[in-house]
Structure 1
Amino acid sequence: MEKMSFGQILEEKGLKKTKVRMALLHHFLQLKHAQSYNDLQLALKNEIDKSTLYRNLTSFEQAGIIHRINDHSGTSKYAFGELPKGGQDHAHFVCENCETVYCMEVSTPLQLNVPKGFKTKNVQTIIKGICSKC
């Protein structure tokens, strides 16, 4: 499969190609781990103001360019890529030392016996431990 340009990714998701969105998308594609709002704000402070960053994160999440991770630290993290339907084949590794969050593929889907009448929207698997950098 041919690599898509930043503009093509935005176009495919129905978003206008703006300087801000290009910078945000470029930032996400350079990283191997999730970023908090504060991380993104610090990294892009010369290119994006706070409210523009928030609006574009919301647009990216709604379009499926990024997904939000609740790692129970009280701060949401954002990572490139859409969560698979039902959260299958996707987990997050949280380093207990540096608090970096990494997206991970799951080799076998988690099978849950949800009680009758319950409806699952998605599943987030959080794995805690120490990353290779720590």
Structure 2
Amino acid sequence: MDYKQTERLLQRKGLKKTKLRHALIRYFIKTQHAQSYADIKLALTEATDKSTLYRNLTAFEQVGLIHSINDHSGVTKYAFGEAPIQGNEHAHFVCECCETVYCMDGLAPLQLDVPKGFKANKVQTIIRGTCADC
């Protein structure tokens, strides 16, 4: 994705066009799996402080450019693409060897029938195993 395309994407999402935001979009587009804050910070070539990066990740998540994943490792991961919405959820695969988190598009999470009086708002399916690279 070139500069003009990222500029149009930011404009469509109602976000200001900054160097960091352009860099973040290009980074997320080229990565094949979810990234932690540390992964993102390490990959960025331009200097940015912790709060600025977190603010931008939050803004991206709020407008649907990325979604966060809780893989129960204690470290939030971020992946390109909108957060799964009702009817469009997907599972996530966590490799137990390399700890990489992959979005499993097209693989819906388990559908659960909760007991009477309970209301499920979101189901997150985490599949653990070994990825194709390991």
TM bucket (normalised to shorter chain) is 0.7 to 0.9
1:11 aligns with 2:11: yes
Residue in 2 that maps onto 1:40: 40
Q: Normalization by structure 2: what TM-score?
A: 0.88
1:118 aligns with 2:86: no
Q: Displacement, 1:116?
A: 2.4
User: Does the CA contact (< 8 Å) of 1:93 and 1:104 recur in 2?
Assistant: yes
Residue in 1 that maps onto 2:62: 62
Could you list the per-position Cα deviations for residues 20-41 of structure 1 after superposition, in whole angstroms to 9, with x for gaps in the alignment? 1000111000101000011111
RMSD of aligned alpha carbons: 1.9
**Matches of 1:19 and 1:48 in 2, distance apart?**
11
**Matches of 2:109 and 2:79 in 1, distance apart?**
20
Segment drifting more, 55-64 vs 120-129: 120-129
Structure 1 gaps of 5+ residues are none
**Matches of 1:124 and 1:9 in 2, distance apart?**
28
Q: Please tell me the residue identity of whatever aligns with 1:110.
A: L
**Alignment: residue pair count:** 131
Structure 2 gaps of 5+ residues are none
